[in-house]
Structure 1
Amino acid sequence: MPLPVVDNHAHLDIRRDDDAAGEGLDLQAHVERLITDARAVGVDRIVQIGCDLESAELTTRLVDAHPALLGGVALHPNEAPLHAERGDLEEAYASIERLVAHPRIRVVGETGLDYYRTGPEGRDAQQDSFRWHIDLAKRTGKVLQIHDRDAHDDVLRILAEEGAPEKTVMHCFSGDMAMARECVERGYYLSFAGTVTFKSARELRNALSVVPPEQILVETDTPTSPRRRIGAP
């Protein structure tokens, strides 16, 4: 690529099942291989995301070990209802807040709403968690990175009600042109993944066309399925 690129969102602690080159490598060696491969094609920095307690802890160790990485931590929207059901959501929040204080953790995310994998019974917990993460990002001055699946209207509504942080990113943007225009007007950044290249993604490309270059980010959201987490170092 003609210019260095930042991968705005990746999960390097998870490996594809068909990643033969990574077999036998421990986590740190696996991540170093991915960083080297990315650098070879012009991706010189990567934002590593941990979105459950285990991967959030791992993320702080990875960003300490690899200068090319910065990190983000949060409870994924599908994690929040699970913690609420177990009765340990406050403890989980406390862990995330502790990890966000790490100087190389620059992102609160991915948080948001996911109505695809979590049914109506979990939506209140998701929305409460989203509001908590918005507040955390504002209190700490860190970037808010949002997961939005089948929940566009509620994501925009809650951001408006709570007041979005100064820097807010719609991770793996999946909305239409009208939503993209609204996000642009609100000053959000829109991050696009490989899905924008799919033949069926005409609507997504139309959305991309109305976003000013200064509000566009790109990401791999690596890895794609099938995938499994590598053991902790």
Structure 2
Amino acid sequence: MVTPPGNDGALPAPGAFDSHTHMDVMGLPVDGVLAAAHAAGIGRVVNVGCDLPSSRWSVSCAAEYDSVYATVAIHPNETAAADGDRGSVLAQLEALAAVPKVVAIGETGLDYYRDWSPRPVQREWFRAHIAIARRTGKALMIHDRDAHEDILAILGDEGPWPPYSVIFHCFSGDAKLAARCAEAGYVMSFAGNVTFKNAEPLRAAAAAAPPELILAETDAPYLTPVPHRGKPNSPAMTAHTVRALAAVKDMAVADLCAHIQATGARVFGWNVS
């Protein structure tokens, strides 16, 4: 049985990075957030857009800070609100996506848990984001909540996909879904919830995922990992998730960090350093 690892709350994870965070809603100075992340060995941060304002903020932040990269998108829960001006919004997203430090289109996908936007509208926007990713050559960063089969079906319809071009943010499936994603070459990014006591199926999924298709993220300020659960999350805490994943996979932390660093270079197109 895969069991949750211990976590001393202090040791860093050199070479890792936060593949998905939201510093724009943390309410903290970016300089301090990044300094704490770097002290924990987290060398890069990917700040994720969920609407036009957060996408613009992410692009601006990436321009200001060398270690910050951006993604741009309309979150599936925001698609109904944006649908009245769909053409203009998509055009603005595509213009933002042309900025070199924009490394992915996302988070886009389907959310059947909240259902804040009608499912047909979500699916139309998902396909529109896929088209932008194709035209710009950027990776596709997926939000998948209770929508595994529809997500996989749309990806299949829109494929084939080059290796390392699709990322399942905050991977939420079981070991069987992890095997299906691995077969398709999709990258699985695990968040702090992999450390939760009741997350045995998620740890089993991490155990099943090939090391070369794994990333780690915070989704900060949400999903704070053990031992800080209940407090706001931040990119520095990616180190806890990396150590949890290393324990689940029975790997040395340094070896998993090397895989994560190499996978980040393949997915996001940056140089390994």
Query: Per the shorter chain, which TM-score range?
Result: 0.7 to 0.9
Q: Relative to 1, partners in 2 of residues 1:2 and 1:176: Cα closer, same or farther, differing over 3 Å? A: closer
Letter of the 2:73 counterpart? A
Deviation at 1:165, TM superposition (A): 3.9
Secondary structure of the corresponding residue to residue 5 of structure 1: coil
Tell me the residue number matched to 2:147.
151
Residues 159-218 of structure 1, C-alpha deviation per residue, up to 9 Å, x if partnerless?
Answer: 001115421000000001111100000000000000000010000000111111100000
Tell me the residue number matched to 2:133.
137
- 1:63 and 2:54 aligned: no
Displaced runs of 4 or more, over 2 A: none
Tell me the residue number matched to 2:208.
210
Tell me the residue number matched to 1:10.
21
- 1:32 and 2:69 aligned: no
Q: Is the 8 A contact 2:14 2:40 kept in 1?
A: no
Secondary structure of the corresponding residue to residue 76 of structure 2: coil
Q: Relative to 1, partners in 2 of residues 1:151 and 1:2: Cα closer, same or farther, differing over 3 Å? A: closer
Q: Relative to 1, partners in 2 of residues 1:32 and 1:93: Cα closer, same or farther, differing over 3 Å? A: same
Q: Is the 8 A contact 2:13 2:42 kept in 1?
A: no
Deviation at 1:135, TM superposition (A): 1.5
Q: 1:183, 1:223 → 2: CA distance?
A: 27
Secondary structure of the corresponding residue to residue 112 of structure 1: strand
Q: 2:220, 2:185 → 1: CA distance?
A: 26
Structure with a larger share of its residues in strand: 1
**Superposition pairs for residues 14-163 of structure 1, below 5 Å?**
14-15=25-26, 22=28, 30-84=29-83, 87-118=84-115, 122-163=118-159
Q: Relative to 1, partners in 2 of residues 1:195 and 1:164: Cα closer, same or farther, differing over 3 Å? A: farther
Q: Relative to 1, partners in 2 of residues 1:165 and 1:74: Cα closer, same or farther, differing over 3 Å? A: farther
Q: 2:98, 2:70 → 1: CA distance?
A: 11
Secondary structure of the corresponding residue to residue 70 of structure 1: strand
Q: Relative to 1, partners in 2 of residues 1:118 and 1:88: Cα closer, same or farther, differing over 3 Å? A: same
Deviation at 1:134, TM superposition (A): 1.1
Tell me the residue number matched to 2:227.
none
Q: 2:179, 2:18 → 1: CA distance?
A: 23
Q: 1:75, 1:216 → 2: CA distance?
A: 24
- TM-score of the superposed pair, with normalisation by structure 2: 0.75
Letter of the 2:22 counterpart? H
Q: 1:165, 1:32 → 2: CA distance?
A: 36
Identity %: 44
Q: Relative to 1, partners in 2 of residues 1:187 and 1:48: Cα closer, same or farther, differing over 3 Å? A: same
RMSD: 1.6
Tell me the residue number matched to 1:186.
184
In structure 1, list runs of 5 or more residues that go unmatched. Answer: 17-21, 23-29, 228-233
What is the number of equivalent residue pairs in this alignment?
A: 212
Residues 14-66 of structure 1, C-alpha deviation per residue, up to 9 Å, x if partnerless?
Answer: 126xxxxx4xxxxxxx1111000000111010111111011111111100000
- TM-score of the superposed pair, with normalisation by structure 1: 0.87
Tell me the residue number matched to 1:26.
none
Deviation at 1:4, TM superposition (A): 1.4
